[in-house]
Structure 1
Amino acid sequence: MRALLLILALTACTRPITPAESDLLTPIHGPEVPQGMWLARTPLVGLFPITYDARPPVACRERIVPPQTGRITARTGGIALFETLLVNPSSWRDDYAEGPPLDLAAAMFLAHEATHVWQWQNRARTGYHPAKAFAEQATVDDPYLFDAELTRPFLSYGYEVQASLVEEYVCCATLDPAGDRTERLHALLSEALPVAPPHAFAREVVLPWAGARIEDICA
């Protein structure tokens, strides 16, 4: 695994977390994640496609993009290896949290991938290893899909679902900080993460889809 990281890193343009990205991640994961995290741009990440059935338009994540149907094939945007995020050039940004306005989709992507760094840094609690996250990709049709009812303890979810729930919280807290599901997400994440309350994330944003209806999106 570390040999693979070295090979990929040698092909990459690398940078640390920016101050704006640190300001985004610290209220979610604490200061250790942005202090230890690096990003590397490498075309090898784009070689890994993912396929899954179109997700129901229930979560904030799905409601800010155009509806999808059928079987979806997409290119992997990023792969977290230990404390390094390897990024597909098509998903690369010099700063995922610049603004205002904040690019919400970019911020959600970074928060998702940074959760894997947090999982690694806290592996004594989480049991995480990148190989286990890769195994989810091989054995679960859509390892990012979660139940909107949020009925289980946070650390009982799969590693990709944990990261997806953090991504969802960024979406909900930013667009609907007073929403009931936003509050449930905050309570769930607070079981394991030093996550700030929803009002800390409310800000001006740009959405990936102009047709998104955001009123009460996380009610």
Structure 2
Amino acid sequence: MRLVVLVLLLAACTRPLTPVERSFVATVQGDRIDLDRVRIVKGALIGGITSTRPARPRVTCRERIGRPETTPTVSTSTAAFVLFNTVFYATPYWREDFLAGYPETLPLGRAMLLTHELTHVWQWQNRAVTGYTPFKAATEHRPGGDPYLFDIADDRAFLEFDYEQQGALVEEFVCCRALAPDGVRTERLRQLLLPHFPAIARAERVPRDRIELPYPEADLSGLCDEPAAESAAAK
């Protein structure tokens, strides 16, 4: 009976992508994801899952727009995860429309998280090419580690990165495109993604002064101007 109740509760908290969300995703992953198959679920018992990782260097767009990490290690909770075509969001991160107000405004943090998670959906839908399975993705999460760290200073192709790194790369591009469309790093990321997402837009539709930052006091000087040898972007 408890299982039946849980299934009914999840069904009641499940929705498709909104038209606004779909319009933004089209500027990133284009038509390379079958969005009709995607479902978004609220809660799903993941909010209490925590982990500890080392503090990240503030060299990436993702880290620089967030609140500074001032301790050697950081405790985090899971914001979202993907199982096949379904994206499960922890309750604090849930919205009826993650991108309400777009294209007049853009809540950048929510846009980054959504496209990160949809990259995992893309990996699943294209598993004949990516080799993706939920189990393989889960093995990237090791105690004390950080599967979202990546380095774009070398010549690796997109599929040579780990699955969480691929999501982080998409997330980082969304951040750089919104705040530094002409940045060296922005173009490097776009070229990395282009073979798999050929419709990816070079520029963000929303003006920079209408971008909503997770941490409004963030210093954006020199953002995405260099490739950054040691990088991090994550959920």
Normalised by the length of structure 2, the TM-score is 0.84
- Percent of aligned positions with the same letter in both sequences? 42
Q: Structure 1 residues 7 and 87 mapped into 2: Cα distance closer, same or farther (>3 Å)? A: farther
Q: Would you say 1:122 and 2:123 are equivalent positions?
A: no
Number of the residue aligned with 1:3: none
Q: Would you say 1:25 and 2:25 are equivalent positions?
A: yes
Q: Would you say 1:90 and 2:96 are equivalent positions?
A: no
Output aligned runs, 1:1-219, within 5 Å. Answer: 10-12=8-10, 13-31=13-31, 32-68=33-69, 69-99=71-101, 100-138=104-142, 141-149=145-153, 151-203=155-207, 204-219=210-225
Give the Cα–Cα distance (whole angstroms) in 1 for the partners of residues 174 and 82 of structure 2: 19
Q: Which has more helix, going by share of residues?
A: 1
Deviations 1:168-208 (A, max 9, x none): 00000011100010000000011322342321455321101
CA RMSD across the alignment: 2.0
Give, in angstroms, the shift of residue 40 of structure 1: 0.4
Give, in angstroms, the shift of residue 138 of structure 1: 3.1
Contact 1:85 1:113 (C-alpha < 8 Å) held by counterparts: yes
State the SS of the aligned residue for 2:75.
Answer: strand
Q: Which runs of 5+ in 1 are unaligned?
A: 1-5
Deviations 1:124-159 (A, max 9, x none): 110011111111113781001111525311100000
State the SS of the aligned residue for 1:113.
Answer: helix
- Structure of greater relative contact order (alpha carbons < 8 Å, 6+ residues apart): 2
Normalised by the length of structure 1, the TM-score is 0.90
State the SS of the aligned residue for 1:136.
Answer: coil
The code of the aligned residue for 1:211 comes to E
Q: Structure 1 residues 180 and 74 mapped into 2: Cα distance closer, same or farther (>3 Å)? A: same
Q: Structure 1 residues 104 and 184 mapped into 2: Cα distance closer, same or farther (>3 Å)? A: same
Q: Give the number of the structure whose alpha-carbon radius of gyration is greater.
A: 2
The code of the aligned residue for 1:216 comes to G
Return 126-135 or 137-146, whichever deviates more.
137-146
State the SS of the aligned residue for 2:220.
Answer: coil
Contact 2:28 2:201 (C-alpha < 8 Å) held by counterparts: no
